[in-house]
């Protein structure tokens, strides 16, 4: 009997530890606001939803992204950060932007939403912030840009781009996608789709005067095709030049070339002296020496950008199981591409973002896990496994600096 009374308290204590023990070590050490939010799509698992998963600093150590703090949204969601806010918009469903506030405990709380269009299939492609009180959202199918106030979450006006003079074929469907702001002008990349993802030939950009919200010109460069896609595919370098990722209909159209075009600082036309044409290049270190198009890009510094690019030699036609995309360093000034020491990814996860000197890649790899990998822009050190394991395909990331 004495032994029973001796062991029972010990059992109770042990049980307490076991009961309180959490399979997810993140729970015990999570502190502070989220530094990163993943938009993780579950389509590969047969579920038409995405999860917005906040990640705190101390979770970027090989932990698994904490779904218990996640928000369920429609599939193909994309995200953007401004101050303490996270903005989420579904690429395919609902023309609505939702806003979440970062909390000190690492969670997100939804505090506002704004319906950008009653045309639910309008497809919000990209959001850029002009200021704390002004933002542009491009609606690809509806061919317009909605100007809204991200602080009050109210719509200000619409910029109608469905005009024949703003499309390459006169069909009044420019399909606005990625955008970039520079010196009071917003440059809007146009998909100009014939049959998505097939675009018409050429790279086409609409230039909008931000002060008046008025389209000023429509510029084209036929050397490359399909100007920009999602966020960070049109960016400004340290010199003030704009670079544009042209992804040439995923390489599906013979004759269309992929690469980077440039609009120099102070200019509103394509730089005819610059075309980083990698379609016609042989790239060392990639299988077969050829690459077709970047799925995503992110500028770092000093003319160096990073991205995820497809390699046709590794593609057998099986999108689910083929890992045919490289993580690459892009030297825009010297026009070179170098594969990074990161594993190949499938086409389901190709997100790229930047946090300080760390370039973050959302990848789905064959044998090294799925989630966010990192590459240090300064040291060149790459993670061999995810710094954050993801439950699905990381399609977009928002970083809070």
Partner 1 sequence: MIKKYLIAVCILMAVVFPVISWGQSVSGKVVDCANNQPIQGVLVRIIKANNGATTDKGGVYQIHHLEAGSWEIEFSCLGMKTVTKTVKFDRDTPLTLHVCMENAVTDLGEVVVAARHERKELKNAREQGVPVSVIDGKMLAGRGTSITEVINHQTGVKVRRTGSVGSDTKVNVRGLEGNRVQIYIDGQALNSPDGSFSINDIPLQFIDRIEIYKGIVPPEFGGDGLGSAINIVTIDAEESFYDLWYGISSYNTHESSITYKHWLPKSQIMLSAMYGFGYAGNNYKMQSPYVEGLTIKRDHDRFRKHLGEVSIDFRGTYFDEFEIGVPFYVNDRQIQGIKTNIQKAQTSGWMTGAELTLEKDGFLTPKLDMKFSGLARFSGTHLNDTSSYLYNFDGSQIPNTYRGEIGSIPNLSDDKLKDYRYTLNFKYNLRPGTKLNFNNDFRFVSTEFNDTVADNYRKTQNSGLKADVINVISSINLEQRLWERLYLLLTARNYYNRVKGATVDLTYGAGNSEVVHADESRLSWGGSIAAKYDFAQHWLLKFAFEHNYRLPRSEELLGDRLWITSNTQLRPEQANNLNLGVMYNNQYNNFSRLQFEGNIYTMHITDMIMMRTASGFMANYNIGKAHLYGADAEVKWDIDRNWFVMLNATYQKTIDKTRYLPGTNTPSVTYDMQMPHIPIFFLNWSLDYRKDNLFGGKGQYNRFYYEGGYTDKYYFGYKLAANQSYVIPSSCIHTAGIEYAMMDRRLLFSLECHNLFDTKELTNLNYPLAGRTFQAKVRITTLKW
Compare residues 148 and 193 and give the one whose CB is closer to partner 1: 193
Site for partner 1 in 335-394 (CB under 8 A): 346-348, 364-371, 389, 391-392
Whether the Cβ atoms of residue 110 and residue 69 lie closer than 8 Å to each other: no
| 325 is a site residue for partner 1 (CB under 8 A) | no
Q: Tell me which residue has tokens 């928002």.
A: 398
Any contact of residue 165 with partner 1 (CB under 8 A)?
no
In 3-state terms the chain splits into helix, strand, coil percentages (rounded to 5) of 10, 45, 45
Give the x/- contact pattern for partner 1 in 83-122, rule: CB under 8 A: ----------xx---------------x----x--xxxx-
Q: Is residue 334 a contact point for partner 1 (CB under 8 A)? A: no
DSSP state of 24: -
Candidate list 175, 296, 374, 383; residue touching partner 1; CB under 8 A = 175
Q: 3-state class of 372 per DSSP?
A: strand
Instruction: Provide, rounded to whole angstroms, the least separation between the CB of residue 264 and partner 1.
Output: 31
Binding residue for partner 1 (CB under 8 A) from 195, 273, 280, 401? 195
How far is C-alpha 53 from the geometric centre of its chain's CA atoms?
15
CB of 19 to partner 1, least distance (A): 20
Binding mask 269-308 for partner 1 (x = CB under 8 A): ----------------------------------------
Q: How far is CA 181 from CA 126, 266, 388, in A?
A: 12, 12, 31
Q: How many chain residues bind partner 1 (CB under 8 A)? A: 67
**Phi, psi angle pair for 343, to nearest 5°:** -70, 160
Q: What is residue 248's three-state secondary structure?
A: helix
Q: How far is the CB of 200 from partner 1 (least distance, A)?
A: 11
Q: Is the dihedral of CA 288, 293, 295, 298 positive or negative?
A: positive
Among 249, 296, 298, 374, binds partner 1 (CB under 8 A): 249
C-alpha span between 376 and 366 (Å, rounded): 22
* Phi, psi (deg, nearest 5) at residue 5: -65, -25
Which position has the token pair 């990381």? 394
Q: Which residues bind partner 1 (CB under 8 A)?
A: 42-49, 51, 64, 67-74, 93-94, 110, 115, 118-121, 140-143, 162, 171-173, 175, 193-198, 249-254, 317, 319-323, 346-348, 364-371, 389, 391-392
């Amino acid at each position: 009997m004495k032994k029973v009374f001796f062991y029972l308290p010990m059992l109770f204590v042990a049980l307490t530890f076991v009961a309180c023990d959490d399979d997810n070590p993140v729970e015990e050490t999570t502190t502070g606001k989220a530094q990163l939010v993943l938009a993780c799509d579950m389509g590969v698992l047969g579920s038409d939803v995405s999860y917005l998963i906040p990640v705190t600093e101390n979770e970027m150590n090989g932990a698994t992204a904490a779904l218990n703090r996640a928000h369920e949204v429609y599939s193909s969601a994309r995200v953007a950060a401004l101050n303490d806010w996270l903005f989420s918009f579904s690429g395919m469903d609902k023309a609505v932007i939702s806003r979440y506030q970062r909390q000190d405990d690492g969670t997100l709380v939804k505090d506002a939403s704004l319906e950008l269009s009653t045309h639910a299939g309008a497809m919000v492609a990209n959001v850029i912030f002009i200021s704390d009180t002004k933002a542009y959202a491009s609606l690809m199918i509806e061919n317009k840009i909605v100007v809204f106030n991200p602080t009050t979450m109210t719509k200000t006006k619409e910029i109608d781009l469905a005009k024949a003079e703003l499309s390459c074929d006169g069909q009044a469907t420019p399909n606005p996608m990625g955008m970039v702001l520079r010196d009071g002008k917003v440059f809007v990349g146009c998909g100009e789709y014939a049959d998505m993802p097939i675009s018409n030939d050429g790279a086409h950009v609409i230039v909008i005067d931000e002060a008046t919200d008025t389209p000023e010109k429509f510029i084209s460069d036929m050397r490359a095709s399909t100007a920009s896609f999602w966020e960070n595919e049109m960016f400004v370098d340290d010199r003030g030049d704009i670079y544009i990722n042209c992804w040439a209909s995923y390489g599906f159209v013979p004759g269309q070339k992929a690469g980077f075009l440039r609009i120099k600082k102070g200019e509103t036309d394509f730089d005819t002296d610059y075309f980083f044409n990698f379609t016609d290049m042989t790239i060392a270190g990639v299988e077969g020496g050829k690459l077709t198009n970047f799925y995503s890009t992110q500028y770092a510094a000093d003319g160096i950008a990073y991205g995820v690019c497809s390699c046709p030699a590794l593609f057998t036609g099986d999108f689910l199981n083929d890992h045919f995309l490289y993580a690459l360093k892009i030297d825009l000034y010297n026009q070179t591409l170098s594969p990074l020491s990161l594993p190949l990814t499938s086409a389901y996860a190709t997100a790229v973002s930047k946090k300080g000197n760390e370039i973050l890649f959302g990848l789905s790899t064959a044998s090294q896990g799925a989630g966010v990998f990192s590459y240090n822009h300064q040291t060149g050190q790459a993670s061999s496994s995810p710094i954050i394991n993801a439950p699905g395909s990381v399609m977009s990331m928002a970083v809070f600096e």
